[in-house]
Structure 1
Amino acid sequence: MSSIDPATMAQQLATFDVQPFKQRYTKQASQYQTKLDALGKVESALREFRTAVNEMNNSSSGIIKNSAKVSSEGVLTASAESNALTGSYQIFVEQVATSHQVSVGMPETLEPSTQVPLTGTLELEVDGKKLLLDLASLDSDGDGQASIADLASAINHHENNPGVNATLVRSGSKTHFMLSSEETGKKNVVEVSASGTGESWFEDAFTSLKELSPAKNAIIWLGEQGDGLKLENSSNTFNDAIDGVELTVTKAQDAGDAPLTMNVKGDKEGTKEQVTQFIDAYNALMSTLDKYSKVDVETNTRAALASDPTLRSIESQVKSAVRGEFAGMRLSQVGIEIGRDGKMKLDTDTFEKAQTNNSAVLEDMFNGDDNLLDSLDTLVKPYLQFSDGLFKSRKDALKQNIDRIEDKKVSLDRKYDMSYERYLKQFTQMNAIMTQMNQTKSLFGQPL
């Protein structure tokens, strides 16, 4: 009788005990993970669709695109939002906004390493906001010294900086200590004074400021200079001079110059591009929904989320929305149709006619309150809530199922270990008995 290998036998039988359960758990976990991955793909597609919708439905961007062109470059730039009224405007740029900049009257021997007093205070103020800097705080390393470079750094990095930049500028052989306001406009004048330092040269320096650039507002005229509508702004960008148009002045005109002409008109290609992006976003969403929910009768295969009620609901609601009537019109009437294959397509000729004849209605049907884009955002929003969205709850349930299976696998590993130890003990004993029997038989010359 030949001996057996107890470890091999124990491993085989212990594996046989747990294998059916392991295969079932692995299959279940795989199915759950496949569904979880599919839900993640659909959620991403829906989120991308919503992002695309919202990018075309905000205060600065809509389906209708407009352009603003200025007759001369280098003086004024302009951009038009979707709500801008088309027309021609005359604009004269009288003055650009500037920030206040001064040179502090420091000694001519000033260097970045020049020591400053460590007693007293330096007060800076811009537009009613103040910084009272304790000069003792400049000695950050405790060596009893601080330089003018340390002072500039302390001003620039102070948490209560009122909007002042301090800079050391080298010009020829001289170093200058400069202060400038961060913001433009006449209200942003830099005021500074030093006191209690015991150093007259330091305190006097901040009383003898040389103005390099005054704080000025930007001034433009809608129409002729002096005869039109005067507009003044602390920055060089005017957002509310003309509804839907942003103006940025870069250079002042000379007195007597003719006003610039700015033309605002519809951007047909830009509008078509916006509509195409909407169509692409819709088709991408529908393609993803179809990919993960379809049932192929011919091959008898089912996608991971075949017949899933959540996907059916999304598809049904989105399709219903885009087929609805908004501002008295349907998408099909402006050249946006859904073919038999379910894909949305653009009839360029019909759309261009709608642009020409019904531009206002086209904008209203897409961007009007509670119209198409608002409706689409409203219907997909509940699915995408981070705290209690439908996708989150579905994914959380699947993750919990996967976690439970992992717990079962851990228990199965323990069962395998127990079975292995039991079988190992049994076969080891059996092997010992067989060895003893062989030895006994050998005494009679009859080995087993």
Structure 2
Amino acid sequence: MSSLDPITMATQLATFDVQSFQQRYQTQANQYQSQLKALGDIESALREFRTTINEMNSSTSSILQNSATVSQDGFFSATADAGALSGSYQIFVEQLATAHQISAGMPADLDATTQVPTTGTLDFSVNGETMSLDLSTVDTDGDGTATVADLVSAINNDSTNPGVNATLVRSNGQTYFMLSSTETGVANRINVSASGTGQTWFEDAFSNVTEISAAQDATIWLGAQGTGLQLTNSSNTFSGVIDGVDLTVSQAQTSGEAPLTLSVGTDDEATKEQMNGFIDAYNSLISKIDSLTGIGDENTARGALASDPTVRSIKSQIQSMVRGQFDGMRLSDLGLEISRDGKMSIDNDKFEQAQSTNGAALESFFNGDGNLFDSMDELLNPYLKFSGSLFASRKDSLQQSIDRIDDKQASLERKYDMAYDRYLRQFTQMNQLMTQMNQTMSMFS
């Protein structure tokens, strides 16, 4: 009579006891995990779609795009947002905004290792902001001395720095202590003084500065120089001087030159690009929903959310909305069509005709209170809001189901261990009996 392997037998029988439950729980867990991931994918796709439409529906952007062109390059550039009105404007660039730069009157033999006072203060003011640098803090290593290089670092790294950059500039074998404003314009002029140091040379250096570059505002004229409307700005970018148009000047014109022409108007190519961006975002969303809710066939796997009424409802609402009417028009009136499979496409000829003959209607269909983009955002909000969204509730419910499966699997592992121990004892005893019987039988053979 052959002996048994108790461990092998216990493992096989304990596994058989729990195997059906393990397979059932794992199948359920896989299903819940697939649904959880699919809901996350749908939510991400909806967020990307909403981001796309919101970027085309703001105070500065719409489906209809404007452009700004200048009659001559090199003097200024311009951008036009959705609020810009078509028109032609004359611009003369008189001067650019510059940042204030000064050189302190340091000794001619100055270098990075020149020692500076460690008592007193170095005071700055720029555009109403002040900094009082305690010179005793410049000595960072505590050796009782501080160098010009330490001073540069202390100025630049001070948390109260009002907008001053310090640097050492070397030219023709000489080192200069430079201070520059971080912002352009007259208001950002640097004022600096040293006091309480006990060292005249240091205090004189900041009371006798050399101006390298004057603080200067940018000046332009709407119209001809001297007769048009003069405008000044601390920076070289003029925002909203003309509604919806930003100007950035880069080179001053010569006095007496004719102003340049700025033309603002609709940009058909950019508008079409916007429209294609919307179409791509819409089709991508519908494709994602279809792939995760499809019932499947011999060539395609069944979607993880094939029986999910919430996602099907979202798709139905979105498709119903884009097929709807806004400001008395439909997508088909603008050259956009939706095929039987739910995908959107553009009829270029029809769309270009709509652009040329009724651009205002094109914009009003998509943009503004209660129109397509606004309505779409309102539709998606309950599903995507950060607190208490429908997707969050669904995902929480699925996660709780997964957690319950994990608890069941943990309980099943305990059941397996108990069964294994029981079977191991039984087969060990049986094996011992069989061994004894074999020994007894051998005595009579």
The bucket for the TM-score relative to the shorter chain is: over 0.9
**Deviation, structure 1 residue 298:** 7.6
Q: What is the rounded CA distance, in whole Å, between the counterparts of 1:48 and 1:134 in structure 2?
A: 52
Deviations 1:169-199 (A, max 9, x none): 0011111111111111111110001000000
Structure 1 residues without counterparts, runs of 5 or longer: none
Bigger Cα displacement from structure 2, 301-310 vs 360-369? 301-310
C-alpha RMSD of the superposition: 1.5
Equivalent-residue separation in structure 1 for 2:255 and 2:327 (angstroms): 49
For residues 286-340 of structure 1, the C-alpha deviation after alignment (integer angstroms, 9 at most, x for no partner) is 1111111122478897421113121122112211221222233222111112122
Secondary structure at the residue paired with 1:30? helix
Q: Distance in 1 between matches of 2:116 and 2:300?
A: 86
CA distance in 2, matches of 1:288, 1:79: 36
Aligned to 2:137: 137
Looking at structure 2, the residues matched to 263 and 236 of structure 1 have their Cα atoms a distance apart, in angstroms, of: 20
Cα separation, 2, equivalents of 1:204 and 1:260 = 47
C-alpha separation in 1, matches of 2:148 and 2:393: 60
Q: How does 1:213-362 map to 2 (within 5 A)?
A: 213-296=213-296, 302-362=302-362
Residue in 2 aligned with 1:28?
28
Say whether 1:43 aligns with 2:43.
yes
- 1:139-218 superposed matches below 5 A: 139-218=139-218
1: CA distance, partners of 2:331 / 2:83: 21
Task: Please state whether the residue corresponding to 2:115 is helix, strand or coil.
Answer: coil
2:353 corresponds to which letter in structure 1? K
- Given that 2:331 and 2:337 are in contact with CA atoms closer than 8 Å, whether structure 1 keeps it comes out as yes
Cα distance in 2 for partners of 1:330, 1:83 equals 24
Matched ranges for 1:358-377 at <5 A: 358-377=358-377
Percent identity between matched residues is 63
Secondary structure of residue in 2 paired with 1:370 = coil
Distance in 2, Cα, partners of 1:301 & 1:177: 72
**CA distance in 2 between partners of 1:340 and 1:404 (Å):** 42
Following TM superposition, the consecutive aligned residue runs of length 4 or more in structure 1 with deviations greater than 4 angstroms are: 296-301
CA distance in 2: counterparts of 1:37 and 1:203, whole angstroms: 68
Query: Which has the larger displacement, 346-355 or 109-118?
Result: 346-355
- Where 1:326 maps in the other structure, the secondary structure is coil
Deviation at 1:201, TM superposition (A): 0.2
Partner Cα distance (2:159, 2:364) in 1? 47
Give matches, 1:437-448, under 5 Å: 437-445=437-445
Q: CA deviation at 1:52?
A: 1.0
Aligned to 1:112: 112
- Counterpart check, 1:85 vs 2:85: yes
Cα distance, 1:64 vs. partner? 0.9
AA in 2 matched with 1:443? M
Counterpart of 1:428 in structure 2 is: 428
The amino acid across from 1:38 in the alignment is: A
Structure 2: which amino acid aligns with 1:253?
A: Q
2:319–2:342 CA contact under 8 A, matched in 1:
no
Matched residue type, 1:426: Q
What stretches of structure 2 of length at least 5 have no aligned partner?
Answer: none
Alignment match, 1:5: 5
- Listed one character per residue, the Cα deviations across residues 198-240 of structure 1 (whole Å, up to 9, x for unaligned) are 0000001110011111111111111111111111111100111
